[in-house]
Amino acid sequence: MSEEKPNPFKVVLKQLDIAAEKLNLDPGIHEILKQPKRALIVSVSIRMDNGNIRSFTGYRVQYHDARGPYKGGTRYHPDVTLDEVKALAALMTWKCAVVDIPYGGAKGGIACNPKEMSLVELERLTRRYTSMILDLIGPYRDIPASDVGTNPQIMAWITDTYSQFRGYSVPEIATGKPLIIGGSEGRADAPSRGVVLCTKEMVSKIGKRFKDMTVAVQGYGNVGASAAILLKKEGCKIIAVSDSRGGIYNPNGIDPIKVLKHKEKSGSVIGFEECKGITNEELLELECDILVPAALENQITKANADKIKAKIITEAANAPTTPEADEILSKKGIIVIPDILANAGGVLASYFEWLQNLHREHWSEEEFIKKLEYKMLEAFDDVYETSEKNEVDMRTAALMLGVGRVAEAIETLGLWP
């Protein structure tokens, strides 16, 4: 009998409890942080290409905005639930605080399978969903972005729908847009660039050589593929990658660019030349130096944590590790660079795009990367120092930093009325 899938929001609440205890958080503030400020559920009805009408359940959760406007991606995936969106909105709240940008956290999603929908159906779905959450979003209120199952084109439709209602162009309403309508140079690689920077810094902290380290990447979407390519450029050896259909393994090394081209042609990494086929579960348990979970949440649990052999886990995905698994990994001496730090390159990219849009500016890729690296390294140092000072693991340190900054903002603002 397979292990029951953990409830993502309960996982986040358990992480919050750990941070609250370490911070000796005021019970009243802790109570405020246990629930989102606002959660909207909408039924998004559209006409499909065959003429039939289908209804999809959509969500927008706004967790807390004490530090600034809500910010968070929009996910299109069959398994989207309210609890998942609440969990991701909470993680966004802590993440924005960890990298010290003036945002609160939010998240949106629609329970659908975008892979089975035409471009026209996706446009209808996106525009109707946007119209239904219109009163909740805005460039100074809540700024959506792309996420799992969504892309720059979908962000363009959100931007246009919002702008049509307002009667003028509002590029700063969404981030992750195409360059031609206010997107940012360097955006595509930003999340994976943050993953690589954090990994490189941690390797340096433990006194190891980054070059020639072996890496396994679970999830070969935008972030996973880009991370594999950047890690290879840094001299690492990519020995395994996977996608939703399965994985490939070659202890002598894999060329991630060739794998990406193979996936674009065939639809999967499976069947790539000179590689052994493996499952996603087997990939997680491979003998390697660095493991990069870049798929969905709850991949590393109490059922498989004891079988993991990587020395460093860098979480490119949101919430890939459960609290029970964290305890096991910590006892084994495995270092986990948590999601709210490791994959924060994405929200930093969103912040930089938003700033450019607000000021009607366009930065060069060089300027963008320079600012991204500065903020990511600053955040890494903050978390690492908190970890050393309090003698806690990196996740607990990141949570203490993020939750602590949000709590301080709430306390400073006070409760009204």
CA distances from 319 to 167, 333, 347 (A): 39, 20, 16
Neighbours of 329 (CB within 10 A): 21
- Mode of pairing for the β-strands spanning 246-249 and 335-337: unpaired
What tokens appear for 282 in the block? 């087997």
**Would you put residue 235 in left (φ > 0), alpha (ψ -120 to 50) or beta?**
left
What tokens appear for 236 in the block? 């690492």
* CA 288 – CA 211 distance, rounded (Å): 14
* CA 150 – CA 203 distance, rounded (Å): 33
Find the catalytic residue in 86, 107, 177, 200: 107
Can 331 be counted among the known catalytic residues? no
Task: Give residue 75's identity as a one-letter amino acid code.
Answer: R
Q: Please check whether residue 11 is in contact with residue 318, taking contact to mean a CB–CB distance below 8 angstroms.
A: no
| Cα-to-chain-centroid distance, residue 229 | 18
Looking at residue 5, what DSSP letter applies?
A: P
Q: Is 169 exposed, middle or buried (0-12, 13-18, 19+ CB in 10 A)?
A: middle
Which residues have C-beta within 8 Å of that of residue 365, sequence separation ≥ 6? 185, 186
Query: Which residues are identified as catalytic?
Result: 107
